[in-house]
Structures are given as structure tokens and as C-alpha cells.
Structure 1
Amino acid sequence: MTTPELYQELSYVNHSREKRLYYSNLMIDNPHLVPKLLDILFMVDDKISPRAAWVFEFMCSNNINTIVPHLDIFTKNLHKVHLDSAVRPVAKICELITTAYFSKTDHKIQKALTKTHKERIIETCFDYLINDEKVAPKAYGMVALFLLGTEYDWIYPELTLILERDFQMQSAAFKARARHILKKIKKNTSY
């Protein structure tokens, strides 16, 4: 399947679990298609880009190790994604990556995730919190940053500052997640 053919196929993807599952399994069964999916995902101004992001998120949710060969491309380009419906799944993938990386269960990602990958995720997740994003990317970013804060000691003070500063202006969902993360930070540190 060529990139244009895959692009055409993705026009059939919608929010239904059935469609996302079908196409994520197609990617898992045909790993040579994943770079093409990422090419489409990173056509950041295109209306099909979010559909590629939904499929990629579903693929990563099913098996996070499927992202390992694509960590460079994903982390190098994730900051470019700006359409709301594509930002949410990309942010979720950042959370999935960091959750797997810090998991007690063995994952290939634990050996594959480099300092550069982590720094790109950190930068993008802080951007989610600082910029005018919806609640879901902010919440996923908080979790990723909390986990990465166990390795990078400068993250917790910055994250705490942003969460406390923005707390009153944000939605109930943001406040709930921020309270949870702040409580975990306080438990892990002396901030």
C-alpha cells in the first residue's frame, strides 16, 4: 500500500472503536505501513492528519512496543501537531510512552527511549500546559511530566509552578488532575 492509498483508506476512519481497532491492527500486522502513517500524521495542516493520529494512538495503546522503531520520527515531529483532534492522541501517546518507560513490567521502550526522546517529550508536554490547549492534552502532559520528573529534578518545581499558577483559571477536569499530580509531587519530594 502506498502513502496515497493509505491516505485514502484513512478517510474511512472515524471515532468508532471498530474503525480505529481495524486500522491499528492493520498497522501492527503490516509494520512497513507505520512510517507512511506517520508521514500522514505529520501533515499537520491536513484534515486526515487527526485520523492518522487516532490510529497511531490505538496502535500504541494495544502494544506500546510498536512505536520503538519510530521514536525518533515521532519525538522529532510531535511538537508540530496543532489541530485539536490530533493533539489529544499525540499527547496520549506521550503519556503511554512514559508510563511504559517507568513501568515495572519489561518493555522494549525502556531500552530504546533516549535522553533526546525524553527531552522532546518534556518540551512538548510543557507546551501543552502553557499554551491554549484543551484539557485532555494538558492532563496527559501532566502525567508524562510527573513521571519524567523522577529522572529530571528540575521538572517538579516548574510543573508545580505552572499547575498552581493556572489552577483557578482552568476547568474542573484540569483542577482534578492538577490536584492529583500536585499531591503526588508533594509525596515524592519536599516541594
Structure 2
Amino acid sequence: MTTSQLYEELNKVNHSKEKRLHYAHLILANPELVPKLLEVLFVVDDKISPKAGWVLEAVCRLSLEPLLPYLNLFTENIHKVHIDSAVRPVAKICELIALSYTGKEPHTVKTALTATHKERIIETCFDYMINDEKVASKAYGMTTLFLLGKEYDWVHPELKIILVRDFASQSAAFKARARHILKKLKH
């Protein structure tokens, strides 16, 4: 399947879990399509970019393995994604990577994720926290920062400053996640 054929297929994706999973299974069965999916995702001003993000998120929820060979491409470009409905799945993928990386279970992401990848993810997640992003992206970003911040001594103090500063002006969902993260930061 060419990139343009994949682009046409992504046009059929909608918000339904059924469609997202259908295309996620297509990608899992054909992992060589991952760089093409990323290519579409990173055409950041295109209306299909979010649909590529939704499918990639569905893939990563099932298995991070297909993304691992492309972590460099992924982390080099995530900061460019700006359409709200594309930022959310990218933020969720960052959280999934951080959860697998810091989890107790063995996972290939532990050896695939380099310091450079982590630094790019941290930088992007801080951007989510300080920019005018939707609450889901901020929530995924703060969890990612908390998890990866265990390795970087400067991350937790910066995260705490942002959470405390923005707490009063944010939504109930933001406050709930921030309260949870601030509690963990105390321990």
C-alpha cells in the first residue's frame, strides 16, 4: 500500500472505536505501513492528520512494538502537531511510551527509548502544559512528565510549578489529574 492509498483509507476513519480498531489491525498486520502513517500524521495542516493520529494511538494501545523502530521519526516531529484532535492521540502515545518505559514489566521500549527520545517527549509535554491545549493533552502530558521525570531531577520541580500555578484557572478534569500528580510528587 502506498502512502496515497493509505491516505485514502484514512479518509474513511471516524470517531468510532470499530473503525479505529479496523485500521489499527491493518497496521499491525502490515507494520511496514507505520512510517507511511507517521508521514500522514506529520502533514500537520491536513484534515487527515488527526485520523492518522487516532489510528496510531489505537495501534499503540494494542502494541507499541510497531512504533519502536520509528521512535526517532516520531519524537523529531511530535512538537509540530498542532490540530487539537491530532495533539490528543500524540500526547496519549507519549503517555503509553512513558508507562511502558517506567513500568515493572519487561518491555522492549526500555531499550529502544534513548535519552534524546525522552528529552524530545519531555519538551513536547511541557509545551502541552504551558500552551493553550485541551485538557486531555495536558493530562497525558503531566503523567508523562511525572513518569519520565523520575530520571531527570529538573522535571518534577518544573512540573510542580506549572500545576500549582495553573490549578485555579483550569477545568475540573485538569484539577483531578493535577491533584493526583501533586500528591505523588510529595512522596
Deviations along 1:125-153, one digit per CA (max 9) or x if unpaired, are 00000000000000000000000111001
> Aligned partners of 1:40 and 1:67: how far apart in 2?
14
Once the 2 structures are TM-superposed, how far is the Cα of residue 66 of structure 1 from its aligned partner?
A: 1.9
Q: Given the alignment of the two structures, is residue 99 of structure 1 paired with residue 99 of structure 2, yes or no?
A: yes
> Aligned partners of 2:72 and 2:138: how far apart in 1?
23
TM-score for both structures, normalised by structure 2: 0.99
- SS of alignment partner, residue 150 of structure 2: coil
TM-score for both structures, normalised by structure 1: 0.97
2:129 partner amino acid = L
* Match of residue 72 from structure 2: 72
* Match of residue 44 from structure 1: 44
> Aligned partners of 1:129 and 1:66: how far apart in 2?
28
8 Å contact kept, 2:128–2:137: yes
Q: Given the alignment of the two structures, is residue 145 of structure 1 paired with residue 149 of structure 2, yes or no?
A: no
* Match of residue 174 from structure 1: 174
What percentage of residue pairs aligned between the two structures are identical? 67
1:2 partner amino acid = T
* Match of residue 186 from structure 2: 186
- Large movers: runs of 4+ above 2 Å: none
> Aligned partners of 2:4 and 2:64: how far apart in 1?
26
Q: How many correspondences in the alignment?
A: 187
CA RMSD of aligned residues (A): 0.5
8 Å contact kept, 2:34–2:66: no
> Aligned partners of 1:18 and 1:55: how far apart in 2?
11
Deviations along 1:72-117, one digit per CA (max 9) or x if unpaired, are 0000000000000000000000000000001111111000000000
* Match of residue 126 from structure 2: 126
1:116 partner amino acid = T
2:45 partner amino acid = D
Once the 2 structures are TM-superposed, how far is the Cα of residue 65 of structure 1 from its aligned partner?
A: 1.9
- SS of alignment partner, residue 70 of structure 2: helix
- SS of alignment partner, residue 59 of structure 1: helix
- SS of alignment partner, residue 82 of structure 2: coil
Deviations along 1:13-51, one digit per CA (max 9) or x if unpaired, are 001111000101110100111111000000000000000
> Aligned partners of 2:49 and 2:112: how far apart in 1?
26
* Match of residue 27 from structure 2: 27
Once the 2 structures are TM-superposed, how far is the Cα of residue 64 of structure 1 from its aligned partner?
A: 1.5
- SS of alignment partner, residue 47 of structure 1: coil
> Aligned partners of 1:66 and 1:6: how far apart in 2?
16
8 Å contact kept, 1:11–1:48: yes
8 Å contact kept, 1:65–1:107: no
* Match of residue 109 from structure 2: 109
8 Å contact kept, 1:94–1:144: yes
